[in-house]
Homo-oligomer: A and B are copies of this chain.
Amino acid sequence: MNKAAVSEKVSARDRLLAAAGELFYEEGINTVGIDRVIEHAGVAKASLYNTFGSKDELIRAYLHTQLQARQERINARLAKSDDPRAQLLGVFDVMRETASRPEFRGCAFVRASAELKPGSAVKVVCDESRAWTRALFTRLAKEVGAHNPHVLADQLVLLYDGAAVSAQMDGSGKGAVTARALAAQLLDIAQGLRNL
């Protein structure tokens, strides 16, 4: 059976991930119980435990899916241009578009991390996400010819995080607009166009 070719039916796993993606993100990981997830997915409880083994693993898988989705969104945007400067600002464009959607409630990893009991294995995915973002900004900072790419990358991560918080707390994409504008300013400075 070739699922990708036939795809007449969505697997229980995918339906669970979709349901978890909506409910966990919108209402919080701890407030949403297993029963609501399986009900929303239209799936039996045994299917959840056969597929994921525990709620914690479902959370892990949910966050992993979120990370992949974000990476794909950003990579798709990066592919649209060859100019590193445009690529770097494009990352903030993606963030602005995402943060402007009414259902956006901030970074899924920040939200999840606030609910984790210390020592949870879920934190690994959060770290993975942050490492990826930072590596991306570092790479782009080098490509734009920044004098100190690591410093610039730190600054860009800061703006990226700040925009996510603004979207979560203020419910607007305004922070993302500010972040993009500020990133452009920082690029000018880092590229030496505005040096003293």
Residues on A facing B (Cβ under 8 Å) = 26-28, 30-31, 106-107, 109-118, 126, 130, 151, 154-155, 157-166, 168-170, 174-175, 178-179, 182, 185-186, 189, 194, 196
Contacts and interface: CB of A to CB of B under 8 A. Distances in A.
A31 B110 contact: no
Contacts of A110: 110, 114, 165, 168-169
Nearest to A116: B28
A95 to B, nearest CB: 12
28 contacts: A27-B117, A27-B118, A28-B114, A28-B117, A30-B31, A30-B115, A106-B114, A107-B165, A110-B110, A110-B165, A113-B168, A114-B115, A115-B115, A126-B169, A155-B182, A158-B158, A158-B175, A158-B179, A159-B162, A160-B162, A161-B161, A161-B162, A161-B166, A161-B169, A162-B162, A165-B165, A182-B186, A194-B196
Contact of A182 (B109, B158, B194): B158
A169 B113 contact: yes
A73 to B, nearest CB: 20
A53 B115 CA distance: 24
A175 B106 CA distance: 19
Contacts of A112: 114
Given A28-B30, A114-B106, A155 B169 contact: no
B117 A31 contact: yes
Nearest to A151: B178
A155 B168 contact: no
A166 B158 contact: yes
A178 to B, nearest CB: 5
